[in-house]
């Protein structure tokens, strides 16, 4: 009896009428019922969802699930005291008297919740690993291509510009050449983005005011048509410490995310921007929440890939987020996303605080107080 009582697994035995007569501590932990609430009071069918107790008996009597009178571990749900269903593995046996009549059934119930949680965590870690590996190899590929393209592109730009200088103002070929220069410059921008994603450019790192980078970025965007019907709520922590970073690169990251948000809201909705200092005071958090269309789950692992876009040809290159990813990684930070289709998305950026400097505002307050 002690062995049964002290088992971590739930052990429950019932007679052939379904009256429970053994209900150990494990069963108590699993179901939330105390033995005295169960023994002689609750029918075995009540600890299963409807029809399951019958199915267990049928499987026990059949030869297919581990031999007659036996049931090898099979997944079912049990219903606990709070009427919630809990996934379990059940192994069970029928017990006979001396003349071969069925007298009782006994089941061992293993709670599957810890295992399910662990499996989910493992799967998530695996996905993250695959994701970062994929991005790393994509980065190498991108950097290789970008380097190769950079030189001939430089040539195109220089020679086209030289030719343009030779032409008179009236020359009709001027327009064509201007077009060549324009398009080649666009290619150069793309190459630059790719190099940034692959972290092949070395930006100057200095103490940077994140609130300022956001405000500067917004200044450029706010007056554009896309933003006319978008409400922007700023909750910027005035005591935010500086981060070690490159202001113009971070501004670019914020602008990419803000433009994406506006595009996801099709020019109508609310964008909330929050900056805050993490509880360990070593990390600055920047959060952008939109009320846009959201991102389907199957795309969540792809949006940081270079050239991944759901926008029409000519509207999006799919480089905004991959570039931003590269820049944030370069800053020793992290970028992540949460989203629900139809409700909106939140992009969060974490950046390490600059170790030796104080935030401008705090510094000023301190000097004012002197």
Ligand X SMILES: Nc1ncnc2c1ncn2[C@@H]1O[C@H](COP(=O)(O)OP(=O)(O)OP(=O)(O)O)[C@@H](O)[C@H]1O
Under the criterion CB under 6 A, does residue 320 sit at the interface with ligand X?
yes
- Annotate 24-76 with DSSP letters as a single string: -HHHHHHH---HHHHTTTSBGGGGSSTTHHHHHHHHHHSSTTTSTTEEEEEEE
Under the criterion CB under 6 A, does residue 318 sit at the interface with ligand X?
yes
253, 306 contact by CB (below 8 A):
no
Nearer to ligand X, 22 or 257 (CB): 257
When CB distances are held under 5 to 8 angstroms depending on the partner's kind, the choice from ligand X, Mg ion, none that residue 207 binds is: none
One residue of 9, 209, 293, 350 binding ligand X per CB under 6 A: 293
Residues paired with residue 23 on neighbouring β-strands, in sequence order: 12
Query: Restricting to residues 243-272, which ones interact with Mg ion according to CB under 5 A?
Result: 260
Tell me, by CB under 6 A, how many residues bind ligand X. 22
Under the criterion CB under 6 A, does residue 309 sit at the interface with ligand X?
yes
- Minimum Å gap between C-beta 190 and Mg ion is 13
217, 255 contact by CB (below 8 A):
yes
183, 220 contact by CB (below 8 A):
no
Nearer to ligand X, 297 or 362 (CB): 297
Residues 5, 25: Cα–Cα separation, whole Å: 6
- Minimum Å gap between C-beta 315 and ligand X is 7
Spell out, one character per residue from 286 to 325, where the chain touches Mg ion: x when CB under 5 A holds, - when not.
----------------------------------x-----
One residue of 110, 275, 289, 345 binding ligand X per CB under 6 A: 345
Judged by CB under 6 A, the stretch of 19-27, 35-43, 269-277, 288-296 that binds ligand X is 288-296
Nearer to Mg ion, 108 or 253 (CB): 253
In sequence order, the 6+-apart residues with CB closer than 8 A to the CB of 207 are: 242, 243, 244, 354, 357
Under the criterion CB under 6 A, does residue 350 sit at the interface with ligand X?
no
Under the criterion CB under 6 A, does residue 78 sit at the interface with ligand X?
no
Residues 201, 185: Cα–Cα separation, whole Å: 18
68, 80 contact by CB (below 8 A):
no
Spell out, one character per residue from 229 to 248, where the chain touches ligand X: x when CB under 6 A holds, - when not.
--------------------
When CB distances are held under 5 to 8 angstroms depending on the partner's kind, the choice from Mg ion, ligand X, none that residue 282 binds is: none
134, 151 contact by CB (below 8 A):
no
One residue of 19, 77, 310, 358 binding ligand X per CB under 6 A: 310
In sequence order, the 6+-apart residues with CB closer than 8 A to the CB of 265 are: 230, 271, 290, 291, 292, 293
- Annotate 249-268 with DSSP letters as a single string: HHHHHHHHHHHHHHHHTTTE
Nearer to ligand X, 207 or 320 (CB): 320
One residue of 53, 160, 250, 321 binding ligand X per CB under 6 A: 321
First to last CA, the chain: 76
Q: Which residues bind Mg ion (CB under 5 A)?
A: 260, 320
Q: Which residues are at the interface with ligand X (CB under 6 A)?
A: 256, 260-261, 264, 290, 292-295, 303, 308-311, 316-322, 345
């Amino acid at each position: 009896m002690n062995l049964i009582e002290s088992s971590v697994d739930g052990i429950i035995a019932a007679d052939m009428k379904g009256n429970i007569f053994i209900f150990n501590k494990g069963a108590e932990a699993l179901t939330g019922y105390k033995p005295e609430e169960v023994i002689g009071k609750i029918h075995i069918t009540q600890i299963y969802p409807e029809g399951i107790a019958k199915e267990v008996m049928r499987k026990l009597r059949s030869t297919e699930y581990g031999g007659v009178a036996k049931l090898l571990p099979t997944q079912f749900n049990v219903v606990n005291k709070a009427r919630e269903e809990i996934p379990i593995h059940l192994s069970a046996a029928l017990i006979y008297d001396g003349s071969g009549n069925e007298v009782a059934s006994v089941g061992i119930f293993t709670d599957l919740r810890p295992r399910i949680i662990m499996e989910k965590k493992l799967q998530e870690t695996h996905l993250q690993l695959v994701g970062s590996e994929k991005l790393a190899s994509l980065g190498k590929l991108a950097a290789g291509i970008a380097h190769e393209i950079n030189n001939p592109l430089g040539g195109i730009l220089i020679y086209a510009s030289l030719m343009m200088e030779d032409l008179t103002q009236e020359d009709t070929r001027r327009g064509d050449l201007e077009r060549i220069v324009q398009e080649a410059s666009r290619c150069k921008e793309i190459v630059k983005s790719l190099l940034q994603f692959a972290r092949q450019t070395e930006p100057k790192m200095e103490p940077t005011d994140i609130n300022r980078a956001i405000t500067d970025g917004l200044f450029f965007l706010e007056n554009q048509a896309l933003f006319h019907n978008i409400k922007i709520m700023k909750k910027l922590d005035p005591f935010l410490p500086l981060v070690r970073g490159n202001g113009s690169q971070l501004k670019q990251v914020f602008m990419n995310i803000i433009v994406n948000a506006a595009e996801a809201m099709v020019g109508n909705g609310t964008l909330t921007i929050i900056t805050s200092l993490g509880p360990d005071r070593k990390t600055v958090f920047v959060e952008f929440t939109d009320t846009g269309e959201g991102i389907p789950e199957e795309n969540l692992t792809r949006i940081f890939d270079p050239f991944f876009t759901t926008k029409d040809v000519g509207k999006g290159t799919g480089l905004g987020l991959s570039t931003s990813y590269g820049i944030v990684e370069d800053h020793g930070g992290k970028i992540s996303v949460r989203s629900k289709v139809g409700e909106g998305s939140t992009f969060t950026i974490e950046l390490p605080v600059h170790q030796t400097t104080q935030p401008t505002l705090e510094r000023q307050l301190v000097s004012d107080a002197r």
